[in-house]
Chain A
């Protein structure tokens, strides 16, 4: 077991009947980190959170928190606070009573309790709402109360289960920032489950991308976005174009009649089938004559997206068109129209290579 990590998961397996929800998941989380479990529904991220909370027991594997093995520890002997997707606020208790719900031990007298509740309400920006009932609050406010309740006992670990998914877009973006700032201020180790890649990218110190019960990649938001380990991560975090190709030389990939120069890599071998990937915003239109990886394309379709234009580019003898995003500034110089022919470039340093994906 690792002594450095605050929370360590070792070889966690989880079976539900014959369905394997988690396959050999191992993960270390440092104290004070904000970690996001990111993945599509059914990928096992919620199962993993429930195991950490003690709501479920793993089929096999072990779990350590601050050096103690807590794999079999009942919920009430664990040290965490949790916010559920539904908030699970007690409807018949006032905001103050909800927040003070966990402040039962002898060290809190009535006065301390009130002080703690006011302090927490101030922290989440809801001062003065003590006597209101949950049904009188908006979704975003309920969310904050749930957060204050989870933080009331100053847990060492904060678990957030899709905390923002029930809110509308504007409130969501606002709360995203607030939760992140609060977490930084309190320094509490936090795990958040989400299926929203934008949420994960903006909030997390570390993203754990999961798919079909396994961890696909662990990394900072920048790493996960810029250097995806697998095609799944590439496609799930951000958007990605895929091109089938075959390695025909050092850093040279052949796709149909197209010869693409990539950065040399050591993982693929000569003649191996590979998948090349490039993000829509990495395709360039202002290249110079003689640059590498220039190609001709036909503009199939243009879609106005406000700050940018999304174009659909048909490349010779490739079935799937490429998606390329062009900023409005660049667009004003290019003046693309539907059906026209255009010259574009796939920069070598932006091409990702995934081996073995025929």
Chain B
């Protein structure tokens, strides 16, 4: 028994007569202590990058310009000003309408994909999630070209203006739809053929089966979609900014208060109000997750849809319709970006891609975005996955893990706009030793990782929980340091999840506007912000061109992801195939 490993040299010899301190220290080996140290750093990092900024924001909302605590005065001022107050009604109206439309449509299309026998399901699925690759500004710009003052089909609106609630609702539905569809597909994927067979044997009509079997099983998914869409819409600021016209919503109000009027305190106040629906959604989602997992108790037998001619035809027509709308909106933006001078010179050219001639940062902002997205994907994936690993697989450190999990879930409840503002308050404070990163690429990367932290953390945690819980015990019993097992076993096994996280971070870093719009500087302008600024300056065609560039970049990123995931991994990791 001479399995002396590298770490044993400075390990105190255990004797029956040990004092309390060394007893406590010696319960863990040196590498467990060092991994615990890394976890500690992770908790501190999240505390600084998520908790403290939000705390600063909350305290700002009850302060005046001079920094004195004035209680809820800002809030009473907000509610006493009709122009500000009306934004709440407007936001609610938009959010409710969009939620209703997207929930219905996503349920129907998800049903079409998972429960009917229509052809081309894979193609439809790809098309329906395309909007996720575009910044939320793209549909808004497309709508301007379709229904705006010089729009090609503006007659369809029968005199109504696209600038306002109609435009915001259509644009919001477009970009939130893929998020809803993905949740809905998961909810409808859990079928149990035995239930359908029982219903049939008991003589239930198809309608009755739908209401007693299909709908209850998807219930939590539907509720979840409704809350997620509601929050996404009410906290989004890109669409209302471009196509909202004079129609005030909460998200644009924050922007106006902060960027337009430099009224940071009122911005903080509106942010706090915006935090409420997000927190409500967050809590509902947590509650649903617990209920949902209770549903999946037995091993279900997958159900395959029977041939139902008319139903299949109807759903096929619906899928074609929705796909045409999505592709139409995307193609409109692409076309608009290529037209030389709308609507007078319809010759195609790449003039609009000459970004250096416009305001908004030019091609530099595009390359900045690439740089920012790459850093976000690399650093973010590394940090998130390793920290999730420590939370899931390191022995002990219960309190640290609990804190970490809490901090990691928190960003889900914080809209990007609110987080961006919180970052201004926290990092721009003169007495903050970290204020050197204000205005740099670093703060953009840190903010973007924090903003999208939760989904990545949960993806990593799910993947880690699926692998055998005893790997770490086995390697410890074989005297192999835990970090080596991470590198040789855990990481390769979780590679698909790691790629998912990296790709998710990259795409979101490319398309996000909400948080970074407060944080970019002259030297770190981003492509998505450039879309906004060019649109603001009236350069709508170049804005469309930049939005198309972002979308194409995301498509390429997804292709690389697909290549790495299904081609490379399958060839290098032959053990997966059995």
Contact = CB atoms under 8 A, between A and B. Distances in A.
A150 B573 CA distance: 25
Contacts of B470: 84, 86, 88
Given A76-B29, A102-B480, A153-B478, A91 B575 contact: yes
Contacts, number: 112
B62 to A, nearest CB: 40
A104 B489 contact: no
B557 interface: no
B492 A92 contact: yes
A74 B27 contact: yes
A105 B26 contact: no
A338 interface: no
A149 B477 CA distance: 10
B473 A55 contact: yes
B480 A101 contact: yes
Interface majority SS (helix, strand, loop, mixed), chain A: loop
A101 B481 CA distance: 11
Main secondary structure of the interface of B (DSSP, over half): loop
A150 B32 contact: no
A73 B26 contact: yes
Interface in A43-99: 53-55, 57, 62, 68-70, 72-82, 84, 86, 88, 90-93
A46 to B, nearest CB: 12
A92 B27 contact: no
A134 to B, nearest CB: 8
B28 interface: yes
A19 B492 CA distance: 38
A189 to B, nearest CB: 12
B480 A82 contact: no
A90 B1 contact: no
A116 B351 CA distance: 70
Interface stretch (B7-15, B107-115, B148-156): B7-15
Contacts of A136: 578
Contacts of B395: 55
Interface string B477-521: 111110000001100110000000000000000000000000000
B438 interface: no
B347 interface: no
Contacts of A53: 473, 477
A90 B476 contact: no
B575 A135 contact: yes
Contact of A133 (B15, B480, B481, B574): B574
A76 B489 contact: no
Interface string B2-31: 111101100100111010000100111101
A69 B573 contact: no
Contacts of A156: 1
Interface residues of B, number: 40
Nearest to B473: A55
Nearest to A133: B575
B477 to A, nearest CB: 5
Nearest to A71: B14
Nearest to A62: B16
Given A68-B14, A77-B11, A92-B573, A105 B478 contact: no
A80 to B, nearest CB: 6
A77 B578 contact: no
Contacts of A135: 575, 578
A75 B476 contact: yes
A55 B469 CA distance: 12
A81 B14 contact: no
Contacts of B5: 76, 104-105
A104 B476 CA distance: 13
A75 B11 contact: no
Contacts of B11: 77
B60 to A, nearest CB: 42
B543 to A, nearest CB: 47
A129 to B, nearest CB: 14
B477 A70 contact: no
Contacts of B26: 72-74
B14 A88 contact: no
Nearest to B573: A92
Interface in B276-316: none
A70 B489 contact: no
A69 B8 contact: no
Given A91-B493, A101-B475, A155-B1, A74 B575 contact: no
A152 interface: yes
Contact of B479 (A73, A93, A102): A102
Interface string A105-117: 1010000000000
A154 interface: yes
B474 interface: yes
Contacts of A152: 478
A296 to B, nearest CB: 49
A156 B7 CA distance: 21
A229 to B, nearest CB: 32
Interface in A34-48: none
Contacts of A70: 14
Nearest to B471: A88
A150 B476 CA distance: 11
Contact of A90 (B2, B7, B31, B488): B488
A198 B4 CA distance: 39
A279 B434 CA distance: 78
A93 B489 contact: yes
Contacts of A54: 476
Interface in A126-181: 133-136, 149-150, 152-156
B468 interface: yes
A153 B29 contact: no
A81 B1 contact: no
Given A90-B471, A90-B488, A72 B14 contact: yes
Nearest to A136: B578
Nearest to A106: B4
A189 B137 CA distance: 69
A102 B395 CA distance: 20
Interface in B444-480: 468, 470-471, 473-480
A62 B574 CA distance: 46
B12 to A, nearest CB: 10
A285 B68 CA distance: 98
Contacts of B476: 54, 74-76
Which of A57, A70, A90, A153: most chain B CB closer than 10 A? A90
Contacts of B32: 74
A188 to B, nearest CB: 11
Nearest to A70: B14
A73 B4 CA distance: 15
Contacts of B27: 57, 72, 74
A101 B480 CA distance: 8
Nearest to B467: A91
A80 B471 CA distance: 15
Interface in B529-578: 573-575, 578
Nearest to A100: B478
Contacts of B478: 81, 101-102, 149, 152-153
Contact of B477 (A1, A81, A134): A81
A77 B2 CA distance: 11
A76 B473 contact: no
A161 to B, nearest CB: 9
* Most chain B CB inside 10 Å of its own CB: which residue of A70, A72, A74, A133: A74
A148 to B, nearest CB: 12
Given A70-B14, A76-B480, 10 more contacts: A53-B477, A54-B476, A76-B29, A81-B478, A86-B470, A92-B492, A101-B475, A101-B478, A133-B575, A156-B1
Interface of B: 1-5, 7-8, 11, 14-16, 18, 23, 26-29, 31-32, 395, 468, 470-471, 473-481, 488-489, 492-493, 573-575, 578
12 contacts: A54-B476, A68-B14, A73-B14, A75-B473, A76-B5, A76-B29, A79-B3, A88-B471, A92-B492, A102-B475, A149-B474, A153-B3
Closest 10 CB pairs of A and B: A102-B478, A135-B578, A75-B476, A88-B470, A133-B575, A74-B29, A69-B16, A84-B470, A90-B489, A92-B492
